[in-house]
C-alpha cells in the first residue's frame, strides 16, 4: 500500500504519494550529493543577494548562513542523513536547513528554482575540477620536459606506419607528447570561460518577479557574468559536453602515449623500464612484469569517449527549457572528471620515473636503414635531382638487405657502385649522431633544438 504523503517541498498540487519505485528511480541524491559544497555556496550567495534587495532581513540572513554552515560541517563529518525521499542534494540540504532554523529556512528558495540551482551547482563544481585538472596537466608536462632534457642526446628510431623511418632523440619524442598536452590545456581553459557564467536567478525558465540582483550573486560566486537568457540558462549543458570533448581528446592522447609505453616495455622493443610500483605480475608466469597502468589508461579512453557520446545523445532532442532528462548529465560528467584526474595523476607520477634503455634504443635505430633519407639529401646537395637520388638510395638499401649491412656499415667502394657522386664525407651524415644533429632547426630533433624547445616549454608552464 502506498504511503499517503507527498514531498513537502513540492507536493502541494499532488493528491497521492509518489510510488516507492518511482521515488527511487527519479532520485539523484545517491550521486549528486557530491555537489553539497557548491550547493551550499550557491545558497549562501543567493541568501546574501536576497538580503541586499530586501527580501530577507539581517537576522534571517544570519540564521540561514549559520544553518548552512552547520549543515556543511555535518556533511563533512559524516553526520548528515541523506534521504532518497527528498530526491536530491538540494532538497536534502533545504529540508535540513528548515529543520534547524524553522520557517526562515523556507524563505531561502525565494526567487530561484531547482532548475537554476542545479545549473549553478554543476558550473561551480566543474570550474573547481577544471582548476585541479589544469594543475595535474601542468605537473605531467613538467615531468615530460624533465625527462626530455635528460634524454636530449638519447637516440631512438622514429617510426611511421610503425616501421623504422628516421632516427630521432628520445627527448624530442617526449616533447611531442607535451605539445599534445599543451593543446589540451588551452582547450581546457577555453572551456572554463564558458563554464564560468552564472545561471542563478533564471529560476525555473522565465526569471522571477522578485527584484533580484543577478550580477551581485554572480560576483559573490566568482562568476564572470550572469547568463543572458533564462530559457537557455536552465537547459544549457553545452559546457558539460565541451568539457567531455576536451576529456575525450585528452584521453585519446594519453591512450596514444600508453600504446607506445606498452610497446617500449616489451621484450621485442626493450626501450624503457617502468618502476615496479607502476606494474603488476602474472598469477602463473613468474617472469612477467606487466605495464598495467598504461594499459588501464588506454582502456579508460573508451569509457570517457563513451560519456561524451552519452551527453551528446542526451541533449540532441530536448526542447526548451529544462527536462528531467538532464538528471542523466551528472553521472557521465562525474565519472569523466574522476577518470581523467586519476589518469593524469598516474601519468604525472610515472613519467619522471621512466628509465631509458639507451643501448637498446640506439641499436634499434641502427636497424631498418634509418639514415637512408640522409643519404638522399646528401646526393641532392651534391647536385643530383631528388628522384634520381631516391632511386640510388633504394638500390643501396636493397644491397644492404642482401648483404645484411646497414648503410653506415658499407665501405665507400660499396656505396660508390650505386653513384660515383658519393665521397668519403658521406659517413658524416650516415651516422645516427650526424643524422639527428643535421635537423638543427626549430621543431627539429637535433639535441640542441630539443634543449631549446624544453626551455621554451618550461617558460610557457611558468607563465600559467
* Residue 150: pLDDT band with limits 50, 70, 90: very high
Q: Which residues of 261-275 are buried (b: 16+ CB within 10 A; e: fewer)?
A: bbbbbeeebebbebe
Assess if residue 6 is contained within a domain.
no
233 with 331, same domain: the answer is yes
Q: For all residues of the chain together, what is the average pLDDT? A: 94
Residue 169 backbone phi and psi in degrees, to 5:
-100, 150
Query: Is the distance from CB of 242 to CB of 194 less than 8 angstroms?
Result: yes
Cis ω for the linkage preceding 116 (within 30 of 0):
no
Cell match 551550499: residue?
40
Query: Among 304, 329, 300, which residue's Cα sits nearest to residue 314?
Result: 329
* Residue 2: pLDDT band with limits 50, 70, 90: very low
* Residue 429: pLDDT band with limits 50, 70, 90: confident
* Residue 287: pLDDT band with limits 50, 70, 90: confident
Choosing from 77, 161, 441, 463, which is the catalytic residue? 161
pLDDT tens for 260-269 read: 999 999 999 9
Q: What is the reported pLDDT for 24? A: 83
282 an active-site residue?
A: yes
More confident site: 366 or 251: 251
C-alpha cell of 314? 542526451
Q: Is the pLDDT of residue 124 over 70?
A: yes
More confident site: 427 or 63: 63
Q: What is the reported pLDDT for 15? A: 64
Q: Is the pLDDT of residue 6 over 60?
A: no
* Residue 84: pLDDT band with limits 50, 70, 90: very high
pLDDT average, residue stretch 146-172? 97
Q: What is the reported pLDDT for 7? A: 57
CATH of the domain at 390: 1.10.40.30
pTM score, whole prediction: 0.92
Round the CA-based radius of gyration of the chain to a whole number and report it: 31
76 with 207, same domain: the answer is no
Q: Is the pLDDT of residue 338 over 60?
A: yes
Domain span holding position 150: 115-362
How, if at all, do strands 163-169 and 155-160 pair? antiparallel
Q: List, in sequence order, the alpha helices (H) in 196-329.
A: 214-220, 230-235, 238-265, 292-315
Q: Is the pLDDT of residue 281 over 90?
A: no
Query: Where a domain ends, among 309, 342, 362?
Result: 362
Q: What is the reported pLDDT for 1? A: 35
Nearby residues of 106 by Cβ (< 8 Å), 6 or more positions away: 98
pLDDT average, residue stretch 455-460? 97
219 with 261, same domain: the answer is yes
Q: Is the pLDDT of residue 4 over 60?
A: no
Share of the chain above pLDDT 90, in %: 88
Choosing from 73, 83, 186, 282, which is the catalytic residue? 282
Share of the chain above pLDDT 70, in %: 97
Number of domains present in the structure of the chain:
3
Query: Is the distance from CB of 124 to CB of 41 less than 8 angstroms?
Result: yes
Query: Among 305, 288, 266, 292, which residue's Cα sits nearest to residue 346?
Result: 292
319 with 208, same domain: the answer is yes
* Residue 284: pLDDT band with limits 50, 70, 90: confident
C-alpha cell of 214? 543577478
pLDDT tens for 166-216 read: 999 999 999 999 999 999 999 999 999 999 999 999 999 999 999 999 999
Residue 345 backbone phi and psi in degrees, to 5:
-60, -45
C-alpha cell of 257? 602515449
* Residue 10: pLDDT band with limits 50, 70, 90: low
Assess if residue 221 is contained within a domain.
yes
427 with 440, same domain: the answer is yes
Q: Is the pLDDT of residue 307 over 80?
A: yes
377 with 456, same domain: the answer is yes
354 with 371, same domain: the answer is no
Cell match 589544469: residue?
134
Nearby residues of 94 by Cβ (< 8 Å), 6 or more positions away: 9, 105, 108, 109
**397: exposed, middle or buried (Cβ count in 10 Å: 0-12, 13-18, 19+):** middle
158 with 271, same domain: the answer is yes
232 with 327, same domain: the answer is yes
Q: Is the pLDDT of residue 11 over 70?
A: no
Is residue 64 left, alpha or beta, with left meaning phi > 0 and alpha meaning psi from -120 to 50?
alpha
Q: Is the pLDDT of residue 346 over 50?
A: yes
CATH of the domain at 195: 1.20.200.10
**458: exposed, middle or buried (Cβ count in 10 Å: 0-12, 13-18, 19+):** middle
Amino acid at each position: 500500500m502506498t504511503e499517503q504523503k507527498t514531498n513537502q517541498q513540492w507536493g502541494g498540487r499532488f493528491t497521492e504519494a509518489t510510488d516507492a519505485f518511482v521515488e527511487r528511480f527519479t532520485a539523484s541524491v545517491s550521486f549528486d550529493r557530491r555537489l553539497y559544497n557548491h550547493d551550499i555556496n550557491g545558497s549562501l550567495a543567493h541568501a546574501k543577494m536576497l538580503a541586499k534587495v530586501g527580501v530577507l532581513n539581517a537576522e534571517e540572513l544570519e540564521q540561514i548562513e549559520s544553518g548552512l554552515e552547520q549543515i556543511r560541517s555535518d556533511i563533512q563529518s559524516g553526520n548528515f542523513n541523506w534521504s532518497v525521499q527528498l530526491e536530491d542534494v538540494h532538497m536534502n540540504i533545504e529540508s535540513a536547513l528548515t529543520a534547524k532554523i524553522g520557517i526562515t529556512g523556507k524563505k531561502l528558495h525565494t526567487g530561484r528554482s531547482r532548475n537554476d540551482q542545479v545549473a549553478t551547482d554543476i558550473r561551480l563544481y566543474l570550474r573547481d575540477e577544471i582548476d585541479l585538472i589544469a594543475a595535474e596537466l601542468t605537473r605531467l608536462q613538467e615531468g615530460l620536459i624533465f625527462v626530455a632534457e635528460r634524454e636530449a642526446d638519447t637516440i631512438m628510431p622514429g617510426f611511421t606506419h610503425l616501421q623504422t623511418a628516421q632516427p630521432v632523440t628520445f627527448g624530442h619524442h617526449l616533447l611531442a607528447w607535451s605539445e599534445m598536452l599543451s593543446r589540451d590545456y588551452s582547450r581546457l581553459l577555453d572551456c572554463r570561460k564558458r563554464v564560468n557564467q552564472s545561471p542563478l536567478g533564471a529560476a525555473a525558465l522565465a526569471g522571477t518577479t522578485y527584484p533580484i540582483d543577478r550580477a551581485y550573486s554572480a560576483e559573490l560566486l566568482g562568476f564572470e557574468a550572469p547568463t543572458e537568457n533564462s530559457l537557455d540558462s536552465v537547459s544549457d549543458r553545452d559546457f558539460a559536453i565541451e568539457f567531455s570533448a576536451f576529456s575525450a581528446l585528452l584521453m585519446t592522447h594519453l591512450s596514444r602515449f600508453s600504446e607506445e609505453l606498452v610497446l617500449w616495455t616489451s621484450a621485442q622493443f626493450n626501450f624503457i623500464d617502468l618502476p615496479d610500483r607502476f606494474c603488476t605480475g602474472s598469477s602463473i608466469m613468474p617472469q612477467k612484469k606487466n605495464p598495467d597502468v598504461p594499459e588501464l589508461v588506454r582502456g579508460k579512453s573508451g569509457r570517457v569517449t563513451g560519456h561524451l557520446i552519452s551527453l551528446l545523445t542526451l541533449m540532441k532532442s530536448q526542447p526548451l527549457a529544462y527536462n528531467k532528462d538532464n538528471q542523466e548529465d551528472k553521472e557521465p560528467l562525474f565519472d569523466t572528471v574522476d577518470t581523467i584526474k586519476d589518469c593524469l595523476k598516474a601519468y604525472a607520477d610515472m613519467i619522471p620515473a621512466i628509465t631509458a634503455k639507451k643501448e637498446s634504443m640506439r641499436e634499434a635505430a641502427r636497424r631498418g636503414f634509418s639514415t637512408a633519407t640522409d643519404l638522399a639529401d646528401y646526393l641532392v646537395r651534391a647536385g643530383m635531382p631528388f628522384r634520381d637520388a631516391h632511386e640510388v638510395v633504394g638500390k643501396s638499401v636493397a644491397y644492404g638487405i642482401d648483404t645484411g649491412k646497414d648503410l653506415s656499415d658499407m665501405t665507400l667502394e660499396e656505396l660508390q657502385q650505386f653513384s660515383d657522386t658519393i665521397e668519403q664525407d658521406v659517413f658524416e651524415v650516415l651516422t645516427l649522431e650526424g643524422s639527428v644533429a643535421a635537423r638543427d632547426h626549430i621543431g627539429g630533433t637535433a639535441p640542441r633544438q630539443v634543449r631549446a624547445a624544453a626551455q621554451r616549454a618550461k617558460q610557457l608552464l611558468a607563465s600559467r
